[in-house]
């Protein structure tokens, strides 16, 4: 893992801009990210079945703990392999 020094004026956040919202989910890959709160899986199971009906392919992910931001590797994996992501909070 490489850590570099920010070459910019640091006036903008490091995070990059979000991708444009897709017009339709048909044929797209949608990541379902469970933040690991109780019953998040129940909510996401329901979403997975609905997304399947819309023609989307679903990848499932989970954060190690809801109490911390998603690890950078997980964020990268989702960004690299999905067209959209839905993050589930639940209790």
What is the contact surface with other proteins in residues (CB under 8 A)? Answer: 1-11, 14, 16, 72-73, 75-77, 80
Smallest distance, Å, CB 87 to other proteins?
18
What's CA 69's distance to the chain center, in Å? 12
In this structure, the dihedral spanned by the alpha carbons of residues 49, 32, 90 and 74, taken in order and rounded to 10 degrees, is 160
Nearer to other proteins by C-beta: 8 or 24? 8
Nearer to other proteins by C-beta: 44 or 63? 63
Cβ-contact 83, 56 below 8 angstroms: no
Nearer to other proteins by C-beta: 10 or 91? 10
Q: What are 84's two structure tokens? A: 């959209």
**What H or E segment, with its residue span, contains residue 60?**
strand 57-62
Smallest distance, Å, CB 35 to other proteins?
19
Smallest distance, Å, CB 71 to other proteins?
8
């Amino acid at each position: 893992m490489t850590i570099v020094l920010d070459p910019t004026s640091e006036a903008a956040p490091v995070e990059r801009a979000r991708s444009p919202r897709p017009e339709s989910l048909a044929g797209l890959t949608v990541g379902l990210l469970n933040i690991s709160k109780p019953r998040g899986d129940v909510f996401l199971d329901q979403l997975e079945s609905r997304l399947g009906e819309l023609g989307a392919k679903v990848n499932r992910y989970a954060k190690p703990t809801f109490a911390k931001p998603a690890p950078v590797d997980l964020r990268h994996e989702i960004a690299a392999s999905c067209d959209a992501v839905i993050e589930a909070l639940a209790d």
